[in-house]
Amino acid sequence: MAIPRLTDAEIELALVALPGWNRVSEGIERSYKFADFMHAFAFMTRVALLAEKADHHPEWFNVYNRVDVRLTTHDAGGLSARDVALATAIDA
């Protein structure tokens, strides 16, 4: 576990800059809604490319036009700066 976990204070601070993201056990979560499945899946394709580039991968759930994204760092057993970076990149 080479990647350090964020402290509670660091997480609270990071979430101020990430509207829509909520803290869940060991990670952060956001739900996205799209016009239809094609738009949801196009979003997932873009996120997949970001994730692969960052070597950091989401846990996610899709049904029709909804995508729930959960970010956690398995190597850290909790939330790390890598999750905040990926959340920021996804929202951009």
Ligand X SMILES: C[C@H](O)[C@H](O)[C@H]1CNC2=NC(N)=NC(=O)C2=N1
Contacts of 29 (CB under 8 A, 6+ apart): 21, 22, 23, 68, 69, 70, 71
Q: Which alpha helices (H) appear in 17-80, and where do they start and end? A: 37-54
Our CB check for ligand X shows the closer of 8 and 55 to be: 55
CB count within 10 Å of CB 61 equals 12
Cβ 82 to ligand X shortest distance, Å: 7
Cβ 36 to ligand X shortest distance, Å: 28
Candidates 8, 16, 45, 55: give the one binding ligand X (CB under 6 A).
Answer: 55
Our CB check for ligand X shows the closer of 40 and 69 to be: 69
* Alpha carbons 27 and 41: distance in angstroms, whole number: 23
Q: Is 73 in the site for ligand X (CB under 6 A)?
A: yes
Q: Is 30 in the site for ligand X (CB under 6 A)?
A: no
Query: Contact positions toward ligand X, by CB under 6 A?
Result: 55-57, 72-75
